[in-house]
Structure 1
């Protein structure tokens, strides 16, 4: 799933390549992707692209006061084409959900596609007068790169949830998903199962610093990257996420995994849990 650094980079990419252009035809290949119908998506046509922004993990394109907002979900992505097909796509064919054609001041006619791999279609698009009209944006907590350490400590002190859960709860803290929460907890040397409310002040400070450092570093590495290369850039910077069975780059222990029904997280026992191997729910069920 694209998280804060990748969505920030995509917003930067659109600011560089799309701002100043005029929206042409908008092709909807999957009607289920549209979550609003008034204004209609056709209302974007003929409008100048005046900005691009990020709200948590939501990507938003400002078309002269009318916003095209998308949440890429787990398998969605934005793909840019300098020479798109002029023919409207066939509905329901392939990963394409929506295509926005553009006309630039130099006479070029690029387009960007919103695509989604797999069979579980969760990518969502809204056309709104104000991004706050998108329910998910209205519910967002403070942005993970904007929250102060005092605010962060207050968030942790107000819940008995595990810190892994707190970091990915968008109503508490906006922008962090499964991957970067793994990396943040590894850097902070904290167990994903530790209770937020029970953390000592020095642990809260370490977690806050790790969050800032991991996200800022990822944003810096992603800045200026072509949209097509951002996924590879994200994977290359990971120390534990997605690396179960591999060697921890800090201590040399084996990176472990805990699996749930639809997702999993990775951690290093030596760095994070005092050497304790956390119970893998999937394996526990198989052994019963």
Structure 2
């Protein structure tokens, strides 16, 4: 896979080049679907556009969970509105080390939609500011719309029935406390999918909020012949998929509905307490 991270200094240099990337600010706050846009308006990488977790990167919550994937047509329309095509390099960022929701945007653009050049700003907006990057304020003009019609790859994801009946190793990106069922601040049922292992997405990052080195991630990430990544609602699971890409490992498939969809059917089993059942 092509390189998936970009440093703040590399981004600054590329923005001054002949083929500058389209920068998408994916900052979000769970439980407040207006926070991301407010944060972007208050200060962002100059020229960057806001990509909203709830409006652009997800469909309405419901039977498919809290952040089900939008339809291919809806996401294609979003990409066209932002002037994105395979010839336009893309950089995505947030302020949570990629967890909310740059990794989700990377997965949807690169893995699902097949865009050939999408990178995540390592360290996000904090890294940009630490490098002395200026911040833009308020609105930014939209580029000319594109006509791109992505060929979405359905094999990169699984639905609940496939997860229920499949033999893939299930890797849960939530915290250990939520995985074990000791705490559940968001969803109605605590616990995890039986047979899963816990790899909190935060464990992919250093204390400085950058991704760990490829060698460290390769040593730490769970191994399996086939892996499915999930979390609470299919957002931080993409952070684990990104970590596998950085490590140079085959990419897990995403279960977009994740725990918030799994628990909607009382016939699906729930496990608690242990790291693996």
Q: TM-score range by the shorter chain?
A: under 0.3
Normalised by the size of structure 1, how large is the TM-score? 0.26
**Does 1 or 2 have the higher relative contact order (CA < 8 Å, sep 6+)?**
2
Structure showing the higher helix proportion among its residues: 1
Using structure 2 for the length normalisation, give the TM-score.
0.26
Q: Which has the larger radius of gyration?
A: 1
